[in-house]
Structures are given as C-alpha cells and as structure tokens.
Amino acid sequence: MIRLLILCLLLFSGVASAEGIEAINVTTNPDGSQEYSVTLQVLAIMTALSFIPAAVIMMTSFTRIIVVLAILRQAIGLQQSPSNQILLGLSLFLTLFIMAPIFSQINDEAVQPYIKEEITSIQALERAKEPMKAFMLSQTRIKDLETFAKIAGYDKLDSPEDTPFIVIIPAFVTSELQTAFIIGFMFFIPFLIVDLVVASVLMAMGMMMLSPMIVSLPFKIMLFVLVDGWSLVMGTLARSFGLGV
C-alpha cells in the first residue's frame, strides 16, 4: 500500500512538473512550522478518506450505541428485527446527534479558519484534534487510560490531558465497550425475568414440549411497547454521554 502510494505520488509529480505545477513543495514558515503544497494536502485528504469509517466507529459514540442495540435485540429474542441495516442507520444518526456539538466546534475552530486561509493545514489538524480528545477523555475510564499508557511506555504523565492521542483511542474504545455492556445488562434484566416467569409457568403446567421463547416473545414485545422502550433506550444512550444533564 505504501509503495503504491509513493508510486502514485511520483507519477503525479512527474505529470505536474511537466505542466509547470509544483506538485511537491514544503514551505517553512517564520515560526518554524512547515506548510505543504496544495497537491500534497489533497493527496493526504484523499488518503485519509479511507480511515473515515474506522474513525466514525472508534472515535465517536457509535460503538456504545450499536453494541447496546445489538444486546437489546438479543434480549427481546428477535433475531432479524430490526435488521442490521436499521440498527446501523439508527446508530449512525444517533451518533451524529450526540456528536453534533463536537463537530460544530471543529468546524468553527479548524475547518472555517482553514478555508478562509487564516491558519495552515497543520494548525487546522491540531485544532480539530482538541475537541475530539476532550470528548474521548470525558468518556474514558482512568484505569483504561493508565493501562494503555503503561503499555506504550508513558509512565510519567502529569494529567490525562497530557496523554498522546494514539494512547487515548484504544483506551476510549475499551471504556466504550465496558459501558455498553453495563447498559446492555441493565436492559437485559427485565426480559430475562419475563423468560424465567414464562418458563416456570409452563413447567408447572406440564407443557415441557412448548418452547418458552415462543410464549415469552409476545409478552416481551408488549412490555417493551408499554414502557415506551425505544424512547427510553435512545434517551438513556444520549444521557450516558452527558446530553441533557
């Protein structure tokens, strides 16, 4: 992959040079920072597009939401309803809703100044990292942060804010999985109680050949509808990130 990228860059550089365009140009600013030519910036942006799905999954609220919804579907006993496409779409739009303040801050502090040529691309990237870093740190457990910091060799960090971005990401994902399983467990308990009650009643009636899952499924769906389950689940997930608190 790296060799192919280098080859494409060299070919693009040769074509651009033949046309009189500076394809590869690195300018040193008076403050010592470096600014790359537009062609290099476009190449970096096009390469970064392939990492957008991973960034959406691993650096936002998406992981917690999709795991909780998957556990909820399993708890109700529905294997294919809602379908995977619906769960993914619901998780994506709820993620956009939760992350809207962070995305808006990134747009105001990094994207718009860069478009207006008030800051360089490197400065825009650094500004964009700060809101994401603050969000992930607010949702990451100190224990997970310390674990990955020790693995990476950062034993002497004065505060969580000093943790490198490359360490925060795996710690954040681990904390998200832990939180998602805790929320999923709380949603699972009421449906488990319904299954136990139905199974006990069927055994008391001597109906051994009838599957408790078939009988309990309508009762679990009715329970979920009566308590306005979807609103409860979505509200709980949103509030778990600090929204509305």
- Residue 163 CA, chain-centre distance (Å), reads 19
Which residues make Cβ contacts (< 8 Å) with residue 162, sequence separation at least 6? Answer: none
Q: How far apart are CA 34 and CA 30, in angstroms?
A: 9
36: part of which helix (H) or strand (E)?
A: strand 34-36
With 0-12 / 13-18 / 19 or more C-beta atoms within 10 angstroms meaning exposed / middle / buried, residue 11 is exposed
- End-to-end Cα, the chain, rounded Å: 46
pTM for the full model? 0.75
For residue 186, how many other CB atoms are within 10 A of its CB? 12
Alpha helices in 155-211 (DSSP H): 165-204
- Residue 144 CA, chain-centre distance (Å), reads 17
Q: How far apart are CA 60 and CA 172, in angstroms?
A: 9
pLDDT tens for the chain, residues 1 to 245: 444 444 344 333 443 444 444 444 555 555 555 555 555 556 666 666 677 777 778 888 899 999 999 999 988 888 778 888 999 999 999 999 998 999 898 888 888 887 887 877 778 888 888 888 888 888 899 888 888 888 888 777 777 777 888 888 889 999 999 999 999 999 999 888 988 888 888 888 877 777 777 888 888 888 888 988 888 899 888 888 876 55
Tokens read off for 44: 């970096």
Cα dist from 142 to 38, 113, 161, 182, whole Å: 40, 34, 11, 17
